[in-house]
């Protein structure tokens, strides 16, 4: 091989080595970029997973706190309703005893209340032939009240034919009005009125919201 050919060969070898080095550098750089992207993606996914777990932990904590608050509110509401029920029932019993005392003493308040009970009972029975049942103690009051009430209903076009029956149990006050054929009746005793209050009005009073 001549000197000239040897130089050309060496030059080709150097060119090949240089191209190979550049290709290696290119491959290494691409590998570094890919590795960087992979690491960045892994870091991002790790942060996202960490945030997801933190968010889930906070969500579960909030749910647990809300459950505890709801349980406490329900517990306090039960206690409040029980105490309110006791208070109302004590008040109702005080009123009942007060009315019984007035009834037994024949007070003006009871007389006025008895008139209202009698008028309301008559208004709720359509027939004009009536039996009025009451406590023996109220007999004189019932007779006096009927004098006005018979006139009152006559002016409204009802001619009442009334039979008196002092047969309410001892200790019961108010009236029961029924038609003479027994098909209609209206119970307007104190016991019935208090039962109505407890069954119909008390529930709504218990659940009035506190302001």
Tens of pLDDT, residue by residue over 83-136, are 888 888 888 888 888 878 877 777 788 888 889 999 999 999 999 999 999 999
CA quadruple 138, 140, 142, 144: dihedral sign: negative
pLDDT in tens, 55-97: 888 888 888 878 888 888 888 888 888 888 888 888 888 888 8
Question: What is the Cα–Cα distance from 165 to 130, expressed in whole angstroms?
Answer: 10
Question: What is the Cα–Cα distance from 20 to 25, expressed in whole angstroms?
Answer: 9
Q: 0.85 exceeded by the pTM? A: no
Residue 199: band (very low, low, confident or very high) from pLDDT cuts 50, 70, 90: confident
pLDDT above 60 (res 208):
no
180 close to 129: Cβ distance less than 8 angstroms: yes
Cβ–Cβ contacts within 10 Å for residue 108, how many? Answer: 8
170's torsion region: left (phi>0), alpha (psi -120 to 50) or beta?
A: beta
Instruction: State residue 3's pLDDT score.
Output: 64
Of 122, 121, 117, residue with least CA distance to 99: 117
Please state, rounded to an integer, the average pLDDT across all residues of the chain. Answer: 82
Instruction: State residue 178's pLDDT score.
Output: 94
Residue 175 vs residue 41, higher pLDDT:
175
The DSSP H or E segment spanning 35 is helix 3-105
160 CB burial (10 A radius; 0-12, 13-18, 19+): middle
Q: What is the mean pLDDT of residues 5-12?
A: 64
Instruction: State residue 1's pLDDT score.
Output: 57
pLDDT above 60 (res 193):
yes
Question: What is the Cα–Cα distance from 175 to 190, expressed in whole angstroms?
Answer: 8
Q: What is the mean pLDDT of residues 32-51?
A: 76
Residue 15: band (very low, low, confident or very high) from pLDDT cuts 50, 70, 90: low
pLDDT above 80 (res 150):
yes
Residue 211: band (very low, low, confident or very high) from pLDDT cuts 50, 70, 90: very low
Domains annotated on the chain, with CATH: 106-206 (3.30.2320.30)
Instruction: State residue 175's pLDDT score.
Output: 93
Give the percent of the chain with pLDDT over 70. 83
174's torsion region: left (phi>0), alpha (psi -120 to 50) or beta?
A: left
């Amino acid at each position: 091989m001549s000197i000239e050919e040897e130089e050309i060969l060496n030059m080709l070898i150097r060119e090949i080595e240089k191209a190979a080095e550049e290709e290696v550098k290119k491959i290494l750089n691409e590998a570094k970029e890919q590795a960087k992207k992979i690491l960045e993606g892994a870091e991002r996914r790790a942060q996202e997973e960490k945030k997801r777990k933190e968010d889930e932990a906070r969500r579960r904590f909030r749910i647990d706190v809300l459950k505890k608050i709801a349980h406490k509110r329900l517990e306090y509401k039960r206690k409040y309703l029980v105490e309110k029920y006791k208070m109302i029932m004590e008040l109702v019993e005080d009123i009942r005893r007060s009315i019984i005392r007035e009834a037994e003493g024949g007070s003006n308040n009871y007389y006025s209340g008895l008139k209202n009970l009698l008028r309301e009972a008559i208004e709720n029975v359509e027939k004009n032939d009536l039996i009025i049942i009451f406590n023996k103690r109220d007999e004189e009051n019932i007779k006096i009240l009927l004098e006005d009430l018979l006139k009152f209903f006559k002016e409204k076009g009802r001619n009442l034919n009334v039979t008196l029956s002092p047969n309410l149990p001892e200790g019961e006050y108010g009236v029961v009005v029924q038609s003479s054929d027994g098909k209609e009746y209206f119970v307007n005793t104190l016991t019935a009125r208090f039962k109505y209050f407890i069954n119909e009005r008390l529930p709504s009073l218990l659940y009035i919201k506190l302001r």
